[in-house]
C-alpha cells in the first residue's frame, strides 16, 4: 500500500512548485515509508509514498508511459487482485510489460480502455492518472471504498491525496469547518456521510466512483452500484457459491512479496479467513494475531454486544489451523496515552478506545509482517447485526447506529443546537440514502425493510469501518486486506434474502454453512461477539480526568461548542453507564484536541 498526492493547476507552472508537492507527500510518509517519488509537468504534479508489498524493484511510482505522442503519469495506492489475468489479456492485445507490478497493469489498462478501465478491476485502489495529451486528470476509487481519496478544488485547479493532511499541507488550503461540518461532527459522529470530509471545501471521491477533471470542469461517474434482482439459487448452490468466492478471494489476497499474517479474534469471520488461508499455505506456517486487555478475564461482563471472551476461542482456532499465534495485551494507561494517535491518523475525531487498541495492535503486527487479512465487513455484507431482526430499528426512520450515539449532540450548547437542527440533518442524510436504494418489486414488507437496512450498512456504516481500518493500519506502514469486501461477494450477497442469510436461526447462518469444511462446529456456531473493549475502571478514570481538565481550561476550543455544565453533570452522576459515558468523553476529548491541533476555524 502507499500514499498518493497530486496538484493540477491551469495558471501556475508547477515545475517551480515542487517543494509544495513534497510537503504534501511528506505529510503522508507513514503510508509509504519505503520510498518516495514525484513527477511534475507544467500543469500537473503527482507525488507518491511507497510501502513495498509486490515487486520491490519494478513498482516505483509515479509510473510513466511515454511514446512520441503520448505521455501518461500514474500515482496509485492499492492492490489489483486480478492483475495477472489483466496482464495476460493486455499482452494478447499487444501491450508489453517491463515489471511484475500491478501498477504497470493499471497503467496499461488505462491505455487500453481509458476511463472504462475501472470496470475491469478487482481490488482495492485509489489512483490519479494525468494524461498529458488530453490535459486531463482521472481519479478512481475501488468499489467499496477500501482505499481513501480526498480532493479539493482550490484557486485555478485541484488537489488530491490519500489523506486530508496531504491537502492541508498545501499553503492555499485552510482548516475550516462550517455549519454542514459541525452537523456532521456532532450529528453523525465518526460515521460521517460518504463524500463529506468535515473540513470546508474538502470532499472525497465516493466508493465505486471515478472523476474526470480538465480545464472545462469536473465530471463524476458512478461506475459500480448494487443491483436488486430476485435470488434464484437454492440453498446448496448459494452456500457453494459463497464458499467458492471466498476461497478464490483469499487465494488472491495472499499474494505478497513481504511477510503476511491474519487477524484472529476467534469469531466466525476472522476464524474462517484464517482457516482458508492456513489451508492455502499448505506446509508453510501461517501467523496470526489477537488483542486482549489487562485483567480482561476478571473484569469481563456479558452484554448486548459481547457474549463471551475471545481468547479461549482464539486458542481453539489457532490450534485447529496450526497458526503461529501472538496475543497482544494492553493496559488502560497505554490506551489513554495513545488516544489521540488515531485522530491524527484520520485527521478527524474517531471512536476512541476501540480505535486506539486497533492502532496499537497494528503497531505490534508491523514488527513481524507487512500485510494482514482481516474479517472486517462480514457483518455488513452478511447482515449479521442484531438490528436486522429488531422491529424498532427496522422502522426507526434514521440510521440505526445513531440511536446509540445521541449523546454527542445532546451536550452541545442550546443556541447551537437550535441553529444546526441536528435531528433534521440526520433525517435529511437518511432520506438521501433512501433515494439511492435499488428497490425490488414484489418483496414482502419485512424483506423490503431488511434490504433497506442492508443498504444502509453497506453504503453508510461500512465506510466508517474501512476508514478506521485503513488509517489505523497505514499510520504504522502496515497493509490490511479485507476479503469480505470483494465486490463479487458483495453483489452476490446483496440479493440473498435475509431469511436465507440467517438460516439455522443464527446470524450469518449461510456463512457458517459455507465454512463447514474449514472450522469445528463449536467455532462455527459461536454467537457474534463484538470487537473487544476494556472493562478496566482505570481507563474510565483516565478519560474522565482528561475531560475535567478540558472543562477547567478556559482556552479549550470545544467550550465554544458544548455546554460544560451538561458534561460536568454526567461526570458527577454515579448512576450513569460508564461504558456510554467513556465513549462520549473519548469523542469530546478528540474533538477538542482536533480543533486545537489542526487550528480549525469555525465558520458559521
| Known binding positions | 102, 291, 374-375
Count other C-beta atoms under 10 Å from residue 232's C-beta.
8
Cell of 365: 503486527
User: What whole-number distance in Å separates Cα of residue 326 and Cα of residue 263?
Assistant: 10
User: What whole-number distance in Å separates Cα of residue 491 and Cα of residue 483?
Assistant: 14
User: What whole-number distance in Å separates Cα of residue 212 and Cα of residue 231?
Assistant: 35
Q: 124 has which bridge partners?
A: 79
User: What whole-number distance in Å separates Cα of residue 77 and Cα of residue 601?
Assistant: 31
Nearest CA to 508 among 518, 493, 530? 493
Element (H, E) at 289: strand 287-293
Pairing of strands 2-9, 157-161: antiparallel
Catalytic residues: 2
Cβ-based burial of 527 (10 A; exposed 0-12, middle 13-18, buried ≥19):
exposed
User: What whole-number distance in Å separates Cα of residue 29 and Cα of residue 100?
Assistant: 24
CA 556, 190, 358, 124 torsion: positive or negative? negative
- The binding site for ATP consists of 291, 374-375
CB 19 within 8 A of CB 497: no
User: What whole-number distance in Å separates Cα of residue 64 and Cα of residue 72?
Assistant: 6
User: What whole-number distance in Å separates Cα of residue 4 and Cα of residue 148?
Assistant: 10
DSSP string over 343-400: HHHHTS---THHHHHHHHHHHHHTTT-SEEE--TTHHHHTT-SGGGG-HHHHT-SS-G
Phi-psi map region of 277: left, alpha, beta (phi>0 left; psi -120 to 50 alpha): alpha
Phi-psi map region of 201: left, alpha, beta (phi>0 left; psi -120 to 50 alpha): left
Count other C-beta atoms under 10 Å from residue 283's C-beta.
4
- The binding site for L-glutamine consists of 102
Q: Who contacts 56 (Cβ-Cβ below 8 Å, separation ≥6)?
A: 257
Count other C-beta atoms under 10 Å from residue 484's C-beta.
25
CB 12 within 8 A of CB 85: no
Amino acid at each position: 500500500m502507499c500514499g498518493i498526492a497530486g496538484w493540477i493547476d491551469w495558471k501556475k507552472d508547477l515545475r517551480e512548485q515542487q517543494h509544495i508537492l513534497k510537503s504534501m507527500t511528506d505529510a503522508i510518509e507513514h503510508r509509504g515509508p519505503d520510498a518516495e517519488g514525484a513527477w511534475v509537468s507544467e500543469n500537473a504534479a503527482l507525488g507518491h509514498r511507497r510501502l513495498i508489498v509486490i515487486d520491490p524493484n519494478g513498482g516505483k511510482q509515479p509510473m510513466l508511459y511515454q511514446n512520441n505522442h503520448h505521455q501518461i503519469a500514474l500515482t496509485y495506492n492499492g492492490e489489483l487482485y486480478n492483475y495477472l489475468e489483466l496482464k495476460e489479456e493486455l499482452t494478447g492485445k499487444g501491450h508489453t510489460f517491463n515489471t511484475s507490478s500491478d501498477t504497470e497493469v493499471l497503467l496499461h489498462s488505462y491505455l487500453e480502455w481509458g476511463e472504462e478501465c475501472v470496470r475491469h478491476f478487482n481490488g482495492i485502489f485509489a489512483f490519479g492518472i494525468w494524461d498529458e495529451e488530453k490535459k486531463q486528470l482521472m481519479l478512481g476509487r475501488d468499489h467499496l471504498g477500501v482505499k481513501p481519496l480526498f480532493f479539493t478544488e482550490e484557486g485555478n485547479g485541484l488537489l488530491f491525496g490519500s489523506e486530508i493532511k496531504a491537502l492541508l499541507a498545501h499553503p492555499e488550503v485552510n482548516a475550516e469547518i462550517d455549519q454542514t461540518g459541525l452537523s456532521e461532527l456532532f450529528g453523525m459522529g465518526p460515521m460521517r456521510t460518504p463524500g463529506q470530509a468535515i473540513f470546508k471545501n474538502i470532499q472525497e471521491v465516493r466508493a465505486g466512483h471515478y472523476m474526470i477533471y480538465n480545464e472545462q470542469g469536473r465530471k463524476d461517474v458512478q461506475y459500480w452500484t448494487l443491483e436488486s434482482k430476485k435470488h434464484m439459487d437454492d440453498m446448496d448452490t448459494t452456500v457453494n457459491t459463497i464458499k467458492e468466492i471466498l476461497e478464490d478471494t483469499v487465494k488472491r489476497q495472499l499474494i505478497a512479496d513481504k511477510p503476511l499474517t491474519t487477524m484472529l479474534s476467534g469469531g466466525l469471520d476472522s476464524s474462517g479467513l484464517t482457516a482458508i488461508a492456513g489451508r492455502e499455505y499448505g506446509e508453510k506456517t501461517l501467523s496470526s494475531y489477537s488483542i486482549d486487555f489487562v485483567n480482561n478475564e476478571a473484569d469481563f461482563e456479558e452484554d448486548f454486544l459481547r457474549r463471551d471472551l475471545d481468547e479461549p476461542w482464539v486458542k481453539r482456532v489457532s490450534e485447529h489451523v496450526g497458526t503461529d499465534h501472538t496475543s497482544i495485551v494492553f493496559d488502560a494507561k497505554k490506551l489513554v496515552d495513545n488516544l489521540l494517535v488515531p485522530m491524527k491518523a484520520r485527521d478527524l475525531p474517531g471512536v476512541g478506545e476501540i480505535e486506539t487498541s486497533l492502532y496499537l495492535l497494528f503497531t505490534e503486527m508491523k514488527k513481524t509482517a507487512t500485510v494482514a487479512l482481516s474479517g472486517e465487513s462480514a457483518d455488513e455484507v452478511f447482515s449479521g447485526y442484531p438490528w436486522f431482526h429488531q422491529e424498532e430499528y427496522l422502522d426507526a426512520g434514521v440510521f440505526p447506529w445513531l440511536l446509540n450515539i445521541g449523546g454527542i449532540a445532546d451536550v452541545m450548547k442550546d443556541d447551537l443546537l437550535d441553529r444546526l437542527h441536528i435531528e433534521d440533518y440526520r433525517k435529511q442524510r437518511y432520506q438521501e440514502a433512501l433515494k439511492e436504494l435499488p428497490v425490488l418489486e414484489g418483496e414482502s414488507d419485512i424483506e423490503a425493510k431488511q434490504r433497506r437496512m442492508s443498504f444502509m450498512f453497506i453504503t453508510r456504516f461500512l465506510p466508517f469501518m474501512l476508514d478506521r481500518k485503513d488509517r489505523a493500519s497505514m499510520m504504522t506502514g502496515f497493509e490490511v486486506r479485507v476479503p469480505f469486501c470483494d465486490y463479487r461477494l458483495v453483489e452476490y450477497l446483496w440479493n440473498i434474502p435475509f431469511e436465507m442469510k440467517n438460516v439455522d436461526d443464527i446470524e450469518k447462518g449461510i456463512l457458517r454453512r459455507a465454512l463447514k469444511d474449514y472450522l469445528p462446529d463449536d467455532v462455527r456456531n459461536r454467537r457474534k461477539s463484538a470487537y473487544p473493549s476494556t472493562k478496566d475502571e482505570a481507563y474510565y478514570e483516565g478519560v474522565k480526568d482528561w475531560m475535567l481538565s478540558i472543562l477547567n481550561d478556559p482556552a479549550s476550543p470545544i467550550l465554544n461548542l458544548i455546554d460544560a455544565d451538561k458534561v460536568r453533570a454526567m461526570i458527577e452522576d454515579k448512576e450513569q453507564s460508564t461504558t456510554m459515558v467513556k465513549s462520549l468523553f473519548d469523542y469530546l476529548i478528540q474533538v477538542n484536541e482536533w480543533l486545537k491541533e489542526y487550528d480549525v476555524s469555525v465558520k458559521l
